Amino acid sequence: MSEIFRIIVCIKQVPGTTEIKINPETNTLVREGVETIINPFDSYAIEEGVRIKERFVSTGSSADDIEVVALTMGPPQAESMLREAISLGADRAVLLSDRVFAGADTWATALTLKHAIKKFEKYNIIIFGKQTLDGDTGQVGPELAHMLHIPFIGYASSIEEIDNRKMTVKRLAEDRYETFEIRLPAAISVGKDINVPRVPSLRGKLRAKNEKIPVWSASELDMDENHAGLSGSYTQVIKIFTPKHLYEVKMMEGGPDEQVEELFGKLKEINVL
């Protein structure tokens, strides 16, 4: 392999608790001071990126010719998550952090990632977890692929074959498996069925501790601030509320025949029968 084969794994830091707070002015998650973790599905994306590198090395490629980069957009504390990604096998990491990135919807997030990826001289595969625990949309991957004009395969369950020009991806549909051969560069999203993530090694932890992680701001991405964060979002959360339960529980008394008769009457009242 004569040039770098670059695998970019896009990951996200999410709240590690169900007790989250909402900013009443912006209706966005308050992330400061909240315990965070790597989005669980992104752990499978990191593992698959490392496995692709190991696959190339096992067939004779030099480890120096394949690079796994962990990339995230988030607040400064997201650096700890990137160090964890390095301990899991990523070669390096980049943090996109700027106050103007705050409040981004999926489109603004994808656009910011696009500007960051364009700073790399070359990329071959972009890997996402299939969705995040906080947003749960699964939209950033396909939106980014659309912006970069590259193929996208969602819910990939295995990479059957791969070389520096193309790969064959198998994915799980509702009632069947589908297999695609796509040219590179390309993007995929993965779920739990693609692999079993490894645990960090001592060597990996030591390397992660000493790794210098660059931070790229909007100006370093040459990005118009009006297209980033809340300002660049096409969708905004207008209101957050807990749904009201409009039903009541009524216990039927009496014998079986009486209970059936009462239930039948209630169902007729609400026009179910």
Percent with pLDDT over 90 in the chain:
67
Asked whether residue 239 is assigned to any structural domain, the reply reads no
User: How many domains does the chain divide into?
Assistant: 1
Looking at residue 273, its pLDDT comes to 60
Beta bridge partners of 188: 127, 153
Structure tokens at 182: 């796509």
Q: Within 10 Å of residue 19's Cβ, how many Cβ atoms?
A: 7
Asked whether residue 205 is domain-assigned, the answer is yes
Q: Quick one: pLDDT at residue 191? A: 92
pLDDT at 239: 75
Q: What is the amino acid identity at position 65?
A: D
pLDDT of 23 reads 66
Residue 18 falls inside a structural domain: yes
User: Is 68 within the bounds of a domain?
Assistant: yes
* Predicted model pTM: 0.82
Q: Report yes or no on 268 lying in a domain.
A: no
Residue 76 in domain:
yes
Predicted pLDDT at 20:
61
134 contact partners, CB below 8 Å, separation of at least 6: 12, 14, 15, 20, 29, 39
136 within domain boundaries: yes
Residue 245 is assigned to a structural domain of this protein: no
Contacting residues for 266 by C-beta, under 8 A, at least 6 apart? 250
- pLDDT given for residue 4 in this prediction: 92
CATH assignment of the domain containing 76: 3.40.50.620
Q: Model confidence over 78-120: pLDDT tens digits?
A: 999 999 999 999 999 999 999 999 989 999 999 999 999 999 9
Give the pLDDT band of residue 68 (cuts 50, 70, 90).
very high
Range of the domain at 108: 5-227
CA 41 to chain centre: 7
